[in-house]
Amino acid sequence: MNLRDILVMQVPSGALKQVVKNENLEDKARLSASEELAEAISRNIPEKGQQLANEFRFAGATAVNVHMMIGGISAKWHDMQFFKDHLIKKYSGALYSHGLRPVLSATPQLIQAHELEDKLVLAFSYLGTPRRYWENYEIVVRSPQILDYVVVHFSPFAIEVRANQS
């Protein structure tokens, strides 16, 4: 996903407007159009745009954050590089670049990993509850694709789950 799409989909329009105003980019985008705001930020100040995206991208609209301290795990798992190498060996290096595209089901599957400072953010995707939609004069049943995150902290070793209550 490119920066513009992440900004449009994940960052509230108020935050986009504030960045555009702070950077004096009002002449490059209408303040009422999120897509134009995201375009102006991604074209003119991509490094600030990436920083803004990182602030909101992995937070999601979660109902609950669960923090679990993990004990009794071998000390080698406390090393982020060991953890990353294990994931690459198991899933491939694509996990850290463009991500994986497994066939989705109701069971969450790892699709991408991001290194964020001294943490690893793991993105899991799965299919939500099927819904009926009126499309092209027919009723179709579709399951939305849901994205939840797990943040792995290494010092101390802890798992933070960012997901909806269900």
Tell me the pLDDT tens digit for each residue of 16-27.
Answer: 888 888 888 877
Rounded Cα–Cα distance for residues 8 and 37 (Å)? 8
User: Given this model, what pLDDT does residue 69 score?
Assistant: 67
Could you give the percent of the chain with pLDDT greater than 90?
34
Q: How far is CA 90 from CA 86, 94, 116, 123, 124, in A?
A: 6, 11, 21, 15, 15
Q: Tell me the average pLDDT across 68-88.
A: 84
The pTM for the full model equals 0.68
Q: Which tokens in the block code for residue 104?
A: 């989705």
118, pLDDT greater than 70: yes
User: Given this model, what pLDDT does residue 102 score?
Assistant: 95
Q: Tell me the average pLDDT across 144-157.
A: 86
87, pLDDT greater than 70: yes
Q: How far apart are the first and last CA of the chain?
A: 26
Q: Tell me the average pLDDT across 80-95.
A: 93
Tens digits of per-residue pLDDT, 31-68?
778 888 888 888 899 898 888 887 777 665 554 566 66
Q: Where are the domains of the chain?
A: 3-57, 64-163
156, pLDDT greater than 90: no
Tens digits of per-residue pLDDT, 65-74?
666 666 777 8
The DSSP result for 95-148, as a single string, is GGTT---PPP-SS-EEEEEEEETTEEEEEEEEE---EEEEETTEEEEE--EEEE
Kindly report the average pLDDT of the chain as a whole number. Answer: 85
User: Given this model, what pLDDT does residue 8 score?
Assistant: 87
124, pLDDT greater than 70: yes
